[in-house]
Structure 1
Amino acid sequence: MEIAQPRDLERYLSLAKRRHGELCRQKRIFNARNRIIGGDTDAWDAQVHDQKIKEATEKARHETFAAEMRQNDKITCILEGRERRDRKSLCKAINDFQQTFQKPETRREFDLSDPLALRKDLPARQSDNDIRNTVSGMQKFMGEDLNFHERKKFQEEQNREWSLQQQRERESARAHQRCAEDLYFKTRLQFDETAKHLQNLESATRKAVCAAVKEFNRNQATESVERKTREKKQEQEDDLAEISNLLRGDLLSENPQQAASSFGPHRVVPDRWKGMTREQLEQIRLVQKQQIQEKLKQLSRGLRLGRKKYMEEVCTNQPTEGYFTQFNTGSR
């Protein structure tokens, strides 16, 4: 623990004093309500007094305006009441005038809106022959006549008569139908007997026709077999004759005489010519060999002449014995 010296205490006291003074100064300066240092209190008091006077003047002016507004409201209420009474009096006078001089009965179009028009008006028609019942009026239609009940009773009686008549007609039709059915049954029996008889006749006729057809078919088959046999035999004979003619003919035998032309022995018919004969071929080969030999002789003769001419032009000096002895005389 260190021991405080007098100088340290003085320094500490001085520092604490300055800090306390600074805090007091800050309180005096930064507090707007209590700050009086550096300010003019007289001016502030004058400003406060002027502000109070201004507020009092403004308040008096507002009170004056309010009194005027209340007075104006009273006057407005009085005028509105007077206007309401005048309007009411005017409406009453108008209603009295309308009830006295402008009654609904006096209007020109009153008949269009008369509530008692139906009571005052005549009915749509007073009878079926009313002259007002025109076509365009559409007041009378079929079944809407005034004597509907009498007409309905007459129609019922007429329907009853029609029903009785229909019953009588139905009974008569049934009787006629029974007679027709009996007649149809008798006619049907007669038709059945006739059909049976015709069927028997048809069966007998069919049997006879079948027998005739069988006999005819048998004859036709026999004739067909004989005809085919004859045709086959004739075809075989024709084939044998054709084969014999082909074998003996000039076409397959390739007879060279058939190509001989009538224009001379050196000409032939092209569509019949079968080629040259062996003698002609040998003669042609002999001529070809002779031509080849002559060609070879000409070629050999030409080669000899050409070689001789070349040697005469190129080889101008003849080699001697000394030319051949110069070879193979050294090691290199």
Structure 2
Amino acid sequence: MFKTDLPPDPKEAAAIEARRNREKERQSRFLNVRTRVMGVDVEALNSQVEERKLQEATEQSKKAAYGTNQVQYDVVAQMLEKEQAERTRRLAKKVQEFREQKQQLKNRSELDLWDPNRLWKEFPPHLSNNDPYCGPASLQYFSGEDLNRSTHLRMQQEQFRYSLERQLQEQQQARIDYNCADMLNNQLRLAMDMRAAQMAKLEESCRMAMMSAMANANKFQVAEVAERQRREHQCQQEANLMEIQNQITSDLLTENPQVAQNPVAPHRVLPYCWKGMTPEQRAAIRKVQEAQRHEKEAQRQAEQAMDSEWESQAERLARAAQELEEQERELCAEFRRGLGSFNQQLAKEQKAQHNYLNSIIYTNQPTAQYHLQFNTSSR
């Protein structure tokens, strides 16, 4: 019904065979301990060396080809340079020929510069400064040249004479003005001297009047000061006498005990007025001190009784604690004995179980074939 004896596909068979070969190669590489541990693949290294050599050979061939091309380019560049130089030379030759044929001297607009009859055609030199043919750029009039020198000299002499006469008049007028000013200055100085003498006399009279008035005022002030000092001394003496009387009759010297009472707090005294305690006050203080001593003695006896009671109670507590410690030690010893017997029983049971496992359960020991089944594939 179905044809089952079909031939295998050659491509598929080739692919399967290639995979098998790769797997075998991979297994041989992985299962080799030295290769796996050291990581050295000699064939791969050799192939890399061959590839490197091939690459270097390719690079050298490229460099050689590049050198050949460069030489060719240099030759072409030299040829182009020679051609450019030849073209430039031909162009320069044509330009020179054009100049010789088309740009002659007779055809130039600057021919008058080389005209041999130029001097005959020029205008004559100027005769005066107002020559219409000579402009500013003709350079026909220079500094120091003067065609009307005599006229100019005459005019300069007249001007000099006029200036001299004017200067003489100005000097005479200046001398007159100076004399007038000097006379006025002398008159002013004389008037100022007279005024200064009058002011000096007036100042002297004023000074004398001021000195007399000041002397009278000083005398009056001296008398007034003496009277004031006398009254002050008298008042001071009266005040001193009054103070002495007050001190003699004061509570400070009479030592009045009522003065030391504080008006705000009757149980307190004023320190600056207090002269000491009275005998009644001292007796009251001693009485209070005696009562305090008795009270202190009773308190001390009570404290001693309390301390003795506390000591007896501490002794009782110490004895009770010692008894509790003895009981605890006995309980611990009993517990250790029970724990030792329990551990011995547990050790016996564990030993019996171990013997049972070794003699009955764990009897199938692994053989060498069991270990050889590992590490047989690269996956």
> Which TM-score band (shorter chain)?
0.3 to 0.5
Report which of the two has the higher share of helix. 2
Query: Could you say which structure has the greater relative contact order, defined with CA pairs below 8 angstroms and 6 or more residues apart?
Result: 2
Question: Scaled by the length of structure 1, what TM-score is found?
Answer: 0.44
Question: Scaled by the length of structure 2, what TM-score is found?
Answer: 0.39
Larger Rg: 1
